[in-house]
């Protein structure tokens, strides 16, 4: 037994010594830069793109045998210019040798530093992120007999699998540009950590980045944690459609156009190009956000559906954040169910419905009570009263519903109430241009018996509305009032004569 243990120890020690000798010989006799042509050819066969390695390739031996690559670029798709599809400063990968015998690539880890990817859609709605596998048989001489073709068919159906325990990507970025819409979005400070990566199996994923976009303005810190699946077939791989993800999203300091949201939390799923966030919870403008969001990325223009509920939102903070103005105040509660097409044309294609209610608010820049008093004076032929107090309008409740068609919200049930006056109206708000066009009927509380309410128009920009008497309608009402008054006088005289 002792002799067996002795010889076993000697054999194990000999194997270790042989391994280290082989490593030393490998490092000193085989230059890994000789593999550049083979690597670039295999990448071309797999993607149809040209890989250029400008830096050196170095061996690594701990914790496994591997290669370190510096300064590499992957060419863009045909028709997308000379800007590379991707560049990388450093790539390090360790390969386990024994799985290669079973036609499996099993890496100990993969480290990427300084990866930059450019995703582009041109004016013809063609994209540069769909990779087409090249048929390597076209690069070899044609077989002379049918038998030879049959014998080599097994190599054409080579079964390739992937298993990487860990991938770390840092200091990286992705740029998305759409030539047709002019939309540009840059995703910076990408940090990605994944574990146990393989094809067609879910693996752990942690991702963070900073997004900065134009047309529309988009900004925010994004953090994702969950499970990812790469659905790969033998023909192609699409970055948008062949990735599945289920996890949780946390977005902070989010800005979309002029809308600022402090935080957003939501479970997120990505499958076959469809992104879902549900349920969404968030905080903005001293209130709360709840809702659901879905974007279908399968078409050249993404189609989106949104259901949202806003609770206890500060109107003053909301308007100030979106327009820089502070002439509105109150507490907003709102519900909306809308759909749109294209991130850059979101407002232009917005359709759906919404309802809102604002409590204990004020509108600065006009005095509604004074307008009502002035209109009543003109209607009855009395002197116009002098304006008293601040040039603002306080109200207890403002409510309305709206039908939205192609970015224009139509309201037929605007209702504003206070202890002093009552207002009903209808009109439109162009959400794209922020243009208002409303007609309202207003009167002081208790004046219903006086007949026609006072007609008022609200026009101009949402940030700087123009509120005034509708002189056309008021003139008609005045003439009608005077005619009725004259008729009443005639009737009174006629009745008095009859009674005599």
Task: Give residue 145's pLDDT band: very low, low, confident or very high (50, 70, 90).
Answer: very low
- Report the alpha-carbon distance of residue 251 to residue 266 in Å, rounded: 9
Which of 22-31, 299-308, 329-338, 473-482 has the weakest average pLDDT?
Answer: 22-31
State the pLDDT at residue 240. 73
364: Cα within 13 Å, side-chain hemisphere = 11
Dihedral angle over CA of 139, 141, 144, 149, nearest 10: -30
Which of 106-110, 173-177, 387-391 has the weakest average pLDDT?
Answer: 106-110
* E strand or H helix at 19: helix 2-29
Find all residues with CB under 8 Å of 340, minimum gap 6, and list them: 303, 304, 306, 346, 347, 349, 350, 351
Contact in structure between 239 and 176 (CB atoms under 8 Å): no
- Of 461, 440, 428, the residue nearest 395 (C-alpha): 440
* E strand or H helix at 478: helix 471-499
State the pLDDT at residue 144. 34
Tokens found for residue 103: 């036609």
| Structure letter (DSSP) for residue 15 | H
pLDDT at residue 490 is higher than 60: no
State the pLDDT at residue 478. 60
Q: Which of 10-14, 54-58, 83-87, 160-164 has the highest mean pLDDT?
A: 83-87
Q: Which of 28-42, 90-104, 398-412 has the highest mean pLDDT?
A: 398-412
Report how far Cα 500 is from the mean position of its chain's Cα atoms. Answer: 83
- Report the alpha-carbon distance of residue 373 to residue 453 in Å, rounded: 11
- Of 412, 425, 482, 429, the residue nearest 455 (C-alpha): 425
* E strand or H helix at 1: none
Contact in structure between 264 and 283 (CB atoms under 8 Å): no
State the pLDDT at residue 233. 72
- Of 176, 184, 186, the residue nearest 210 (C-alpha): 186
State the pLDDT at residue 494. 56
Task: Give residue 27's pLDDT band: very low, low, confident or very high (50, 70, 90).
Answer: low
Buried b (16+ CB within 10 A) or exposed e, 405-428: eebbbebeebebebeebbbebebb
Q: Kindly report, residue by residue over 310-358, the tens digit of the pLDDT.
A: 999 999 988 887 776 777 899 999 999 999 998 778 889 999 999 999 9
State the pLDDT at residue 136. 44
pLDDT at residue 29 is higher than 90: no
Q: Which of 7-16, 55-64, 100-109 has the highest mean pLDDT?
A: 55-64
Task: Give residue 374's pLDDT band: very low, low, confident or very high (50, 70, 90).
Answer: confident
- Report the alpha-carbon distance of residue 475 to residue 64 in Å, rounded: 91
Contact in structure between 205 and 225 (CB atoms under 8 Å): yes
Three-class SS of residue 156?
helix
- Of 438, 368, 364, the residue nearest 400 (C-alpha): 438
Q: Kindly report, residue by residue over 279-305, the tens digit of the pLDDT.
A: 999 999 999 999 999 999 888 788 999
Q: Are strands 464-469 and 454-461 parallel, antiparallel or unpaired?
A: antiparallel
| 239 phi and psi angles, rounded to 5 deg | -60, -30
Find all residues with CB under 8 Å of 191, minimum gap 6, and list them: 169, 170, 206, 207, 208, 209
pLDDT at residue 209 is higher than 90: yes
pTM greater than the 0.85 cutoff: no
H-type alpha helices, 58-199: 146-151, 153-156
Task: Give residue 18's pLDDT band: very low, low, confident or very high (50, 70, 90).
Answer: very low
| Structure letter (DSSP) for residue 386 | P
DSSP line for 32-61: GGGGHHHHHHHHHHHHS--EEE-S-EEEE-
pLDDT at residue 109 is higher than 70: yes
- Of 257, 260, 309, 318, the residue nearest 288 (C-alpha): 309
Contact in structure between 401 and 353 (CB atoms under 8 Å): yes
DSSP line for 126-151: -BS-EEE---GGGGSPPPSSHHHHHH
- What length does the chain have? 500
Task: Give residue 409's pLDDT band: very low, low, confident or very high (50, 70, 90).
Answer: very high
State the pLDDT at residue 465. 86
State the pLDDT at residue 138. 35
Which of 158-162, 217-221, 400-404, 414-418 has the weakest average pLDDT?
Answer: 158-162
State the pLDDT at residue 276. 96
Task: Give residue 426's pLDDT band: very low, low, confident or very high (50, 70, 90).
Answer: very high
Three-class SS of residue 28?
helix
Cis amide bond preceding 434, omega within 30: no
């Amino acid at each position: 037994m002792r002799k067996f243990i002795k010889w076993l120890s000697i054999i194990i020690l000999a194997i270790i010594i042989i391994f280290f000798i082989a490593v030393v010989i490998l490092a000193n006799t085989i230059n890994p830069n000789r593999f550049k042509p083979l690597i670039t050819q295999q990448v071309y066969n797999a993607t149809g793109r040209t890989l250029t390695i400008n830096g050196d390739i170095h061996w690594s031996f701990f914790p496994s045998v591997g290669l370190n690559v510096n300064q590499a670029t992957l060419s863009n798709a045909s028709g997308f210019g000379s800007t590379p599809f991707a560049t990388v400063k450093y790539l390090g990968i360790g390969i386990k040798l024994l799985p290669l015998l079973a036609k499996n690539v099993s890496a100990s880890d993969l480290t990427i530093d300084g990866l930059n990817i450019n995703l582009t859609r041109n004016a013809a709605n063609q994209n540069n992120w769909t990779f087409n596998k090249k048929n390597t048989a076209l690069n070899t001489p044609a077989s002379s007999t049918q038998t030879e073709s049959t014998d080599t068919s097994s190599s054409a159906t080579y079964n390739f699998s992937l298993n990487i325990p860990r991938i770390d990507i840092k200091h990286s970025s992705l740029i998305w540009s759409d030539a047709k819409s002019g939309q540009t979005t840059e995703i910076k400070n990408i940090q990605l950590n994944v574990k146990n990566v393989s094809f067609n199996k879910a693996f752990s994923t942690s991702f963070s980045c900073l997004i900065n976009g134009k047309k529309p303005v988009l900004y925010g810190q994004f953090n994702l944690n969950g499970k990812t699946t790469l659905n790969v077939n033998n023909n192609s791989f699409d970055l948008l459609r062949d990735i599945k993800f289920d996890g949780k999203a946390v977005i902070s300091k989010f800005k979309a156009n002029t809308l600022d949201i402090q935080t957003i939390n939501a479970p997120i799923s990505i499958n076959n190009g469809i992104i879902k966030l549900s349920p969404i919870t968030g905080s903005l403008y001293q209130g709360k956000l709840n809702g659901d969001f879905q974007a279908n990325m399968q078409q050249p223009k993404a189609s989106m559906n949104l259901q949202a509920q806003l609770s206890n939102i500060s109107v003053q903070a909301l308007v100030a954040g979106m327009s820089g103005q502070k002439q509105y105040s109150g507490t907003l509660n709102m519900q909306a169910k809308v759909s749109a097409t294209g991130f850059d044309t979101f407002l232009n294609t917005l359709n759906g419905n919404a309802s809102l209610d604002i409590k204990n608010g004020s509108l600065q820049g006009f005095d509604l009570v004074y307008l009502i008093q002035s209109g009543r004076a003109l209607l009855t032929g009395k002197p116009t009263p002098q304006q008293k107090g601040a040039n603002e309008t306080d109200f207890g409740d403002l409510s309305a519903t709206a039908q939205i068609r192609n970015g224009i919200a139509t309201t037929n049930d605007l209702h504003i109430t206070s202890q002093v006056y009552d207002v009903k109206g209808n009109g439109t708000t162009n959400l794209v241009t922020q243009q208002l066009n409303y007609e309202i009927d207003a009167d002081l509380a208790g004046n219903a018996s006086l007949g026609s309410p006072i007609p008022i128009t609200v026009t101009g920009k949402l940030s700087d509305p123009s509120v005034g008497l509708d002189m056309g309608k008021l003139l008609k009402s005045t003439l009608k009032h005077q005619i009725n008054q004259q008729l009443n006088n005639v009737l009174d005289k006629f009745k008095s004569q009859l009674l005599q």
